[in-house]
Structure 1
Amino acid sequence: MAACRVLLVDQGLSRSREWGPVLETKGHGLTRVAGLPEVTELARESYDLVVVHAPSAGEALSPFLVALAGEEEAPDVVVVMDTPDAARAVAWMKCGARDCLMAPVTSEQIGLLADGRAAASASGRGRVAGKTQIVTCNPRMEALLSMLDRVADSSASVLITGESGTGKELIARYVHGKSSRSKGPFVAVNCAALPESLMESELFGHEKGAFTGAIGRKAGKFELAEGGTLLLDEITEMPVTLQAKLLRAIQEKEVDRLGGTAPVSVNVRVVATTNRDLKEAIETREFREDLYFRLNVIPVKIPPLRERKEDIEALARHFMARFSALDGRIVKNLTEDAVGRLQNYPFAGNVRELENLIHRAVLLADGETIGAEALWFEEGEMPLPTPATQAEISHDFKGAPLREVERIVIFDTLEQTGGNRTHAAKILGISVRTLRNKLNEYRADGSEIP
């Protein structure tokens, strides 16, 4: 694994003095500076991971994050907070921070963060564009990314197709990050999530009084993306009646607000995605053929994960490092059996399914290693007990009815997540409603709920 160059910006962050020796044993390097003014050029040119103590940065933190986020080879930036503040954490992540952690950050956590960044850089010939990181060693994906590198700086529309979970939005962000528009906004619109009655106003804006409830002028997504990139996610879900207006906006580079008296010029690069067969949608008249040709200037078809098996291990290790750091775990190895089981699984949900699977495995792993027994693929499938713990728990499971085994696994997962039911349901592969119903059954039986 390549070395990760870590830069720490702080004035006495708790436990950070322990980081150096741990990073050094892993082959990484650590440099310390006191404040942000001296950092921007240094961080941009010389470091892979920048850890910023929020109180040491002060009001300069947000501008610093924005400045770095627009750079093609920007380092990952992790902000460390002394006190919980969800609103500020969200704001910093919108400015470009990769993550926000609560102090104290242990040497194990910083080691995993460094490992994760180094693994992403070393996995095959993965790419980074701004804050967008794509891990791949698949020849088809490499060829696709090389093509995008050549065309990213043009104004041509891009049409990205592929199955759900293959990373279509990630590719859209990669295109944005590689273009000269990277310093401009990236605005994403989920066409499937917008009601038809609101979609036109959301895209093109409206004037005061244009319809009941229009109490003032509102800029649409095209205007909000001025100078940047507009992602139209699930474009095939857009009503045919609105597609003509979208076609005109792309061709003429101007939009007509609802209730407006004159068109508004826009300078926007449009990227569209879909998981549907567009030619079939054209034949059934659900999608305009002229809009298809306007969007399909640069066609990008992302292969499913089952067709690029060489990416599975690299991605698994990437997610393992990320979620280990996120959840405060020390999980850094995958057994050969685990890798084999991953590579033989079809992954109908593609990279998104693999990501969720590894997140569960990090939480279920016995010690520092993810074995095959920690891989829980299907809803209702119990993770296998590890050899080290099988004797220990056999008195619980041996001869126990399935309902009791299920109760133990659910309670253990709730304990791991600190009682967070949403997180626990995600790990268990069930809905929050199903989890709630199970807990109500156990409560009715007299069980004490974690």
Structure 2
Amino acid sequence: MRIKITTDNRLGLSKEILALLAENDIDVKKVEVEIGLMFVETEPVEKHLAATIASRLMKIPNVKWVENISLMPTRERNLFLTSLLNAITDPVVGVNNKGHIIYYNDMAGENFKISENKLTELKDIFQQDDWASIVDTAASGNMPVNIKTVSGSMLVEVQAITQKSQKTVGAVLVFHKPESITTRSHLIEGAEISGFDKLISYDEKMLDVINRASHMGNIDTPLIIYGESGAGKKTIAQAIHHSGKRKNMLFSTIDCSISNPQQLEVELFGLANPVSGKAGLLEISDGGTVFIRSIADMPENCQRKLSDFINNKFFYRVNGKIKKEPNIKIIASNTEPLQKFVENNRFNKELFYSLDITRLLVPPLRERKEDIEPIASHFLSQFSNQSGKEINGMSFEALNKIKTYFWPGNITQLKDTLFKASMLADTETITSENIEIDGHAHIESSLENKTLSQAVSEFERHFLEHWYQKYPSTRKLANQLGVSHTTIAQKLNKYKIN
């Protein structure tokens, strides 16, 4: 017999209910209590006795209603949870704070040989000694990691379960087999990934870059991509990754210009520590691609270590003694050629030679005039779909405005400008007034009367004004534009930009 008793709260009420059942020699198996509710499961009883018990329970003060139920609440929730977990086609495991598996779905049972008769400890799922630090990295960094299991190499996502006191009481782990992953890179990047078929260009130079890049997906040698900020270096790198044999594995990014120099080595190579050890990006991305942005800003010690890894195929974590041998494709990028940094003793020569085996140069948007209109149409269609706001195109004046602008921030700036324009537009057509570009009218109307030196200076001033709004620190601006801090300080002083 299973019954649900609705009550008003009263001290001693539960004791009276249980006493009534005991008087009738009914063995109580389970009791669950919630506010205003009491659920009781007993041994099987005959119908007439069950009816009598229900009638007598209703006579107890503060008992409002008694009804039969098919399942106890905990059992019902467990069935719903089991059904939900089994609807997930990836293995899912729940563990307590001691590492004992307390929940798992059918896929986890099948992949890791877990059964109700033999509940496995979490450590039995993995086949590498440092599994605990890798799982901790996934949990603390809120990102998937690559890890070796008894069922082969998998990506695992970890969500810690905490109490209100922030004490961790367990975790949920979701495993993904590489063959079930189409584009897992969004787990780290948080962005839609595009292959070569999604790249938009009619420009001969850009088409040549795309053609060369399309042959690099299955080549394991490192490569360097040059180009101005916002020109599309990362998009090309993603397309290379997704066109090759690593497409089902992680595409991870680290930006040397914004990462803490003291922490960059740990972020990339990991830390060996029995208490707070963690896997670095190279380990996490085993089998995939690591894209290193603004590599000229990488600290000297990291440059040496990365060069050694590329040449020797292994590295050690910071303070570590165990060899790490992840299978990684390295793609680096920079706004300026590394050759000049090597000549000024600001970049490791061996690393330069390793990266410079294969190089790509992405042309700036101002050199791809015929690409501006189709790229703009793509962005406007994208914004329209995302916002639900109907955008049918641009006026002739608006189109002419974006075609004649220099676009110092390249495709990134074009995208930001059009997004703002689509939000400002009162009609389905983007007008020239909706296109807010710093200094556009001044540049366009006055260049004909300038000498080359004056025109270059005017462009340089507007260029710096634009980027200084986004990076109001001379050091950050220097990193972004790929020049020295001293050069930026002198230019800002020259044009009185502050």
Say if 2:255 is the partner of 1:190.
Answer: yes
With over 3 angstroms needed to count, the CA separation of the structure-2 counterparts of 1:432 and 1:298, relative to structure 1, is closer
Aligned to 2:61: none
State the secondary structure of the residue aligned to 2:377. Answer: helix
Query: Which residue of 278, 292, 298 maps to 1:218?
Result: 278
State the secondary structure of the residue aligned to 1:281. Answer: helix
Conservation of the 8 A alpha-carbon contact between 1:191 and 1:237: yes
Distance (Å, rounded) in 2 between the aligned partners of 1:92 and 1:166: 21
With over 3 angstroms needed to count, the CA separation of the structure-2 counterparts of 1:183 and 1:283, relative to structure 1, is same
State the secondary structure of the residue aligned to 2:247. Answer: helix
Conservation of the 8 A alpha-carbon contact between 1:65 and 1:95: no
Conservation of the 8 A alpha-carbon contact between 1:331 and 1:370: yes
Larger RCO of the pair (alpha carbons < 8 Å, separation 6+)? 1
Alpha-carbon offset, residue 323 of structure 1: 1.3
Conservation of the 8 A alpha-carbon contact between 1:312 and 1:343: yes
With over 3 angstroms needed to count, the CA separation of the structure-2 counterparts of 1:327 and 1:349, relative to structure 1, is same
The C-alpha deviation readout for 1:15-43, integer Å capped at 9, x for no partner, is xxxxxxxxxxxxxxxxxxxx999xxxxxx
State the secondary structure of the residue aligned to 2:360. Answer: strand
Letter in structure 1 aligned against 2:332: A
Aligned-residue identity in percent: 26
Distance (Å, rounded) in 2 between the aligned partners of 1:193 and 1:178: 28
Aligned to 2:264: 199
**Number of equivalences:** 277
Conservation of the 8 A alpha-carbon contact between 1:65 and 1:92: no
Gaps of at least 5 residues in structure 1 are 1-34, 38-60, 71-90, 100-126, 210-214, 382-428, 434-450
The C-alpha deviation readout for 1:316-335, integer Å capped at 9, x for no partner, is 11111111222221112112
Alpha-carbon offset, residue 308 of structure 1: 0.5
State the secondary structure of the residue aligned to 1:151. Answer: coil
Query: Which residue of 129, 137, 141 maps to 2:195?
Result: 129
Distance (Å, rounded) in 1 between the aligned partners of 2:367 and 2:328: 34
Conservation of the 8 A alpha-carbon contact between 1:205 and 1:220: yes
Say if 2:429 is the partner of 1:369.
Answer: yes
With over 3 angstroms needed to count, the CA separation of the structure-2 counterparts of 1:223 and 1:93, relative to structure 1, is closer
Bigger CA radius of gyration: 2
Give me the TM-score of the superposition, normalised by structure 1: 0.56
With over 3 angstroms needed to count, the CA separation of the structure-2 counterparts of 1:64 and 1:378, relative to structure 1, is farther
Alpha-carbon offset, residue 348 of structure 1: 0.6
Query: Which residue of 150, 159, 182 maps to 1:69?
Result: 182
With over 3 angstroms needed to count, the CA separation of the structure-2 counterparts of 1:244 and 1:378, relative to structure 1, is same
With over 3 angstroms needed to count, the CA separation of the structure-2 counterparts of 1:280 and 1:260, relative to structure 1, is same
Aligned to 1:230: 290
Aligned to 2:228: 163
Aligned to 1:239: 299
With over 3 angstroms needed to count, the CA separation of the structure-2 counterparts of 1:432 and 1:218, relative to structure 1, is closer
The C-alpha deviation readout for 1:277-323, integer Å capped at 9, x for no partner, is 31221111111222111012210100000000011001111111111
Alpha-carbon offset, residue 92 of structure 1: 11
Distance (Å, rounded) in 2 between the aligned partners of 1:62 and 1:343: 47
Alpha-carbon offset, residue 96 of structure 1: 9.5
Distance (Å, rounded) in 2 between the aligned partners of 1:160 and 1:345: 25
Letter in structure 2 aligned against 1:69: T
With over 3 angstroms needed to count, the CA separation of the structure-2 counterparts of 1:62 and 1:138, relative to structure 1, is farther
With over 3 angstroms needed to count, the CA separation of the structure-2 counterparts of 1:197 and 1:93, relative to structure 1, is closer
Aligned to 2:187: 94
The C-alpha deviation readout for 1:129-169, integer Å capped at 9, x for no partner, is 28x83221211111111111122211011100111110111
Aligned to 1:323: 383
State the secondary structure of the residue aligned to 1:282. Answer: helix
Relative to total residues, which structure has the larger strand share, 1 or 2? 2
Alpha-carbon offset, residue 276 of structure 1: 2.3
Gaps of at least 5 residues in structure 2 are 1-86, 90-173, 442-467, 473-498
Aligned to 1:17: none
The C-alpha deviation readout for 1:210-249, integer Å capped at 9, x for no partner, is xxxxx23211111111000011111000112321111001
State the secondary structure of the residue aligned to 1:145. Answer: helix
State the secondary structure of the residue aligned to 1:279. Answer: helix
Query: Which residue of 270, 295, 303 maps to 2:355?
Result: 295
Distance (Å, rounded) in 2 between the aligned partners of 1:219 and 1:348: 38
Distance (Å, rounded) in 2 between the aligned partners of 1:217 and 1:261: 13
With over 3 angstroms needed to count, the CA separation of the structure-2 counterparts of 1:432 and 1:326, relative to structure 1, is farther
Give me the TM-score of the superposition, normalised by structure 2: 0.51
Distance (Å, rounded) in 1 between the aligned partners of 2:321 and 2:190: 41
State the secondary structure of the residue aligned to 1:144. Answer: helix
Aligned to 2:5: none
The C-alpha deviation readout for 1:413-438, integer Å capped at 9, x for no partner, is xxxxxxxxxxxxxxxx97799xxxxx
Distance (Å, rounded) in 1 between the aligned partners of 2:376 and 2:414: 7
With over 3 angstroms needed to count, the CA separation of the structure-2 counterparts of 1:93 and 1:233, relative to structure 1, is closer
State the secondary structure of the residue aligned to 1:180. Answer: coil
Conservation of the 8 A alpha-carbon contact between 2:300 and 2:347: yes
Letter in structure 2 aligned against 1:144: V
Query: Which residue of 359, 365, 368 maps to 1:305?
Result: 365
